[in-house]
Amino acid sequence: MKDRVLLLGGSAAVLVGVVALLAAAGVWRTLPVPGISKPVPLATVVPPQQTESTGKVDEFQLTVSRISWEIAPGRTVQAYAYNGQIPGPELRVTEGDTVKVAVTNQLQEATTVHWHGVDVPSSMDGVPDLSQSPIPAGGTFTYQFVATPAGTKWYHSHFDEVNQQGDGLYGPLLIEPRQQIQPQPDREFTLMTSQWQNGAASGRLAVPTPNAASGMGGMLAPNSAVPVFNTFTLNGKMAPAIPPLIVQQGGRVHLRLINAGATDTIAYGLAGHQLTITNSDGNPLAQPEVADGVSLGVGERADVEFVADNPGRWTFVALSTQSNDGGPGPTANRGVVGEEVIYAGHENDPLQDFPADANLHVARYTEFSGPPHPDPPTRTYDLTLSGGSMMGMGSETSWTINGKSYPGTDPLNVHQGDRVRIHVSNMSMEDHPMHLHGHTFQVVGISGRAVDGPIKDTLTVHPMEQYGLEFVADNPGTWLFHCHNLVHMSGGLMTEIHYQ
């Protein structure tokens, strides 16, 4: 135990160093706009700023198609996939590398790819009609960007998200820091959880929405029945079809947790072990935080470590889920993740869960710390999130920011160089995982109290909570700031950031 504390102390120092390095990265370059299969109206997009490139180029190919995907033996869903697999392939690069991804669309409908958490140029951000024309059926588009900032990121469709992301178009994008944090863990696993629509387990046939090709690339779904995402998978499989994680006693294990779900916030925990949370949305915390569990809204990520010092066969589960599907009642189902962590040689041990009466500590944002944040902001916006249904049954599908639904929301106007503070209050009864495109932000206020909080790109604002978040307007373009709950997003909980 003593060793473990010392070890963590050492990596905390390195993490602080990395934060300082990131802050000091003041060298910028312009990225050329790469080749593109059809003309895109980008005349107003100012060339982006990127951190210094390593000069190394990493090339990938993603093919988007429909597939039948077996989430459990005998349970097949009609899905969308990158390269025929769910999640899509893990793209692993080094910070500062130039990433080129040729995306070929073999669907009968358009698609785009968004690089969630990466400060890409606006023209590479994958928002249909805002950053690019959608990739048409049969078309190819090559995304190109410099990989920054480092950390656990992900990619997903930003076109008709309820169906395309909801039915399989997502994958991990891992940007290794240029200077690796030492010592390296003994094992590393990427765990991406996702949710499937009502009836998926019995083979729901996903039908593209009728207006998927119109308007904002079909981001606004028709106001028909609210889809309910009630089937959960981990790395594309349902328990018990999820392969176990095999660990060696004494080893240090790094888990990259990604909530690629549709609607629900999930708290993850590993029975018999505490988790040391080192990064939030890929960004190092100033101090690692130890807890029984970590909660992630849709789109959020956490890097956690544990020391394999309790031999046996343990369950990695959702301690809780908060249903945010507008449907009746919480999913509140601990079994929804259902991964097993097995120590080598203990394959036949009984599976152990958390004690039923355990009083578990799930880490909160108030326990996450970041670097000291500088001076007052140059610009402040107050955003109140409301909407939804108090009557249940998802009859109300309108979600608002300051009383307006996208595309009618007021954009946030900023000037390059601004330090922009956004006060977000949630006056509704559901979680809103708010995601900012093209920038990372720092949590600088919680319930009206100033904090030096974590650096993030997605912040889950629970009912009646208030946060201050702040970003530097250093990436010109037009960007989205939206709730990542796919139903809320399609219900209008979205606005735009405009550089003046």
- Which residue, 114 or 252, is less far from ligand C2O as judged by CB? 114
From the list 18-26, 132-140, 243-251, 477-485, the region that binds Cu ion by CB under 5 A is: 477-485
From the list 149-157, 249-257, 365-373, 430-438, the region that binds Cu ion by CB under 5 A is: 430-438
484 binds, options Cu ion, ligand C2O, none, Cβ within 5 to 8 A by partner type = ligand C2O
The dihedral over CA atoms of 367, 369, 374, 379, expressed in degrees to the nearest 10, equals -60
Binding mask 435-474 for Cu ion (x = CB under 5 A): ----------------------------------------
Terminal Cα distance for the chain, rounded: 54
What the block records as the tokens of 67 is 């597939």
Q: Which of 432, 435, 456, 462 binds Cu ion (CB under 5 A)?
A: 432
Report the alpha-carbon distance of residue 309 to residue 288 in Å, rounded. 19
Closest CA to 262 of 496, 490, 495: 490
What's the sign of the alpha-carbon dihedral 401, 404, 405, 408?
negative
Q: List, in sequence order, every beta strand (DSSP E) within 34-182.
A: 50-51, 57-72, 75-82, 91-94, 98-105, 113-116, 140-146, 151-157, 170-176
What the block records as the tokens of 355 is 């004690």
Q: Which of 172, 297, 299, 433 binds ligand C2O (CB under 6 A)?
A: 299
How far apart are CB 283 and Cu ion at their closest, in Å? 22
The single-letter code of the amino acid at 8 is L
SS3 201: helix
Report the alpha-carbon distance of residue 327 to residue 463 in Å, rounded. 16
- Which residue, 254 or 435, is less far from ligand C2O as judged by CB? 435
Report the alpha-carbon distance of residue 108 to residue 148 in Å, rounded. 33
- Which residue, 112 or 485, is less far from Cu ion as judged by CB? 485
From the list 409-417, 428-436, 439-447, 451-459, the region that binds Cu ion by CB under 5 A is: 428-436
- Which residue, 273 or 482, is less far from ligand C2O as judged by CB? 482
SS3 152: strand
Asked if 288 and 364 count as a contact pair (C-beta separation under 8 A), the reply is no
- Which residue, 104 or 131, is less far from ligand C2O as judged by CB? 131
Distances (CA, A) of 431 to 167, 279, 326, 451: 21, 21, 11, 21
419 binds, options Cu ion, ligand C2O, none, Cβ within 5 to 8 A by partner type = none
State which of positions 149-168 bind ligand C2O (CB under 6 A). Answer: 156, 158
State which of positions 435-494 bind ligand C2O (CB under 6 A). Answer: 435, 437, 480, 482, 484
- Which residue, 484 or 488, is less far from ligand C2O as judged by CB? 484
State which of positions 98-117 bind ligand C2O (CB under 6 A). Answer: 114, 116
- Which residue, 252 or 488, is less far from Cu ion as judged by CB? 488
Sheet holding 412-414, edge to edge: 412-414, 494-499, 478-483, 432-436, 458-461
Asked if 488 touches Cu ion (CB under 5 A), the answer is yes
153 binds, options ligand C2O, Cu ion, none, Cβ within 5 to 8 A by partner type = none
Q: Which of 152, 460, 485, 495 binds Cu ion (CB under 5 A)?
A: 485
What the block records as the tokens of 492 is 């209008």
Report the alpha-carbon distance of residue 100 to residue 168 in Å, rounded. 22
- Which residue, 419 or 488, is less far from Cu ion as judged by CB? 488
What the block records as the tokens of 271 is 């029975």
Asked if 383 touches Cu ion (CB under 5 A), the answer is no
- Chain position whose Cβ is nearest to ligand C2O: 116
Q: Tokens 């590398």 appear where?
A: 97
- Which residue, 45 or 383, is less far from Cu ion as judged by CB? 383
Report the alpha-carbon distance of residue 230 to residue 249 in Å, rounded. 35
For ligand C2O, how many residues bind (rule: CB under 6 A)?
A: 10
Residues that bind ligand C2O (CB under 6 A): 114, 116, 156, 158, 299, 435, 437, 480, 482, 484
Residues that bind Cu ion (CB under 5 A): 432, 483, 485, 488, 493
